[in-house]
């Protein structure tokens, strides 16, 4: 340990921790103004990572699709069934990144027993037509 770490380093560390913990305040003691964006409600919408890969493999019926879903660090489904339904909440299409409004026709993952990691994800039905075998853009 260096001698400067014993005295100045300790104060600097405490000041750093103080600044980090006060990040939500608008006017801090040091005169710096900060703001924090509102956190999204994670319980009502599915947030995808930047490395998400979605591929529609098949469309066995008008109301079902088979999807390859790869989200590194979170989940991978090589042959996942999705079923047509109406969106119960607004969100973002995992395939086209288009906005989904409540009531839009969408596909959602099908599950029996264990809920998949991407159970809240949606794909717009209009984004599916003519896309079998293509990756999300």
Instruction: Give the pair of three-digit tokens for residue 46.
Output: 């599915």
Please return the burial class of 118, using the count of CB atoms within 10 Å of its CB with bins 0-12, 13-18 and 19+: buried
Domain boundaries, the chain: 1-36, 53-128
Q: State yes or no: pLDDT of 55 exceeds 90.
A: yes
Helix extents (H) in the chain: 3-4, 10-21, 125-128
Instruction: Give the pair of three-digit tokens for residue 18.
Output: 């103080």
Please return the burial class of 117, using the count of CB atoms within 10 Å of its CB with bins 0-12, 13-18 and 19+: middle
Q: State yes or no: pLDDT of 136 exceeds 90.
A: no
Q: Quick: pLDDT tens for 82-135.
A: 999 999 999 999 999 999 999 999 999 999 889 999 999 999 999 988 665 555
Q: State yes or no: pLDDT of 80 exceeds 90.
A: yes
SS3 10: helix
Helix, strand, coil percent values for the chain (each to nearest 5): 15, 35, 50
Cα–Cα distance measured from residue 86 to residue 102, given in angstroms and rounded to the nearest whole number: 8
Q: Quick: pLDDT tens for 1-49.
A: 444 445 556 677 666 666 665 544 444 444 433 333 333 333 445 665 5
Backbone angles phi, psi at 28, to 5 degrees: -90, 170
Q: What is the pLDDT at residue 36?
A: 34
- Averaged over 70-79, what is the pLDDT? 92
E strands, 87-133, in order: 91-92, 99-100, 105-109, 123-124
Q: Which residue has the higher pLDDT, 11 or 79?
A: 79
């Amino acid at each position: 340990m260096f001698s400067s770490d014993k005295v100045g380093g300790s104060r600097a560390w405490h000041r750093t921790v103080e600044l980090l913990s006060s990040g939500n305040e608008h006017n801090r003691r040091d005169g710096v103004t900060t703001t924090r964006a509102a956190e999204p409600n994670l319980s009502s919408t599915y947030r995808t990572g930047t490395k998400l890969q979605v591929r529609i493999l098949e469309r066995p019926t008008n109301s079902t699709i088979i999807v390859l879903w790869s989200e590194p660090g979170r989940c991978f489904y090589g042959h996942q069934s999705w079923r047509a339904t109406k969106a119960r909440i607004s969100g973002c299409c995992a395939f086209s990144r288009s906005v989904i409004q409540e009531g839009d026709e969408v596909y959602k993952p099908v599950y029996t027993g264990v809920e998949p990691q991407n159970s809240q994800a949606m794909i717009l039905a209009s984004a599916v037509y003519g896309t079998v075998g293509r990756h999300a853009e």
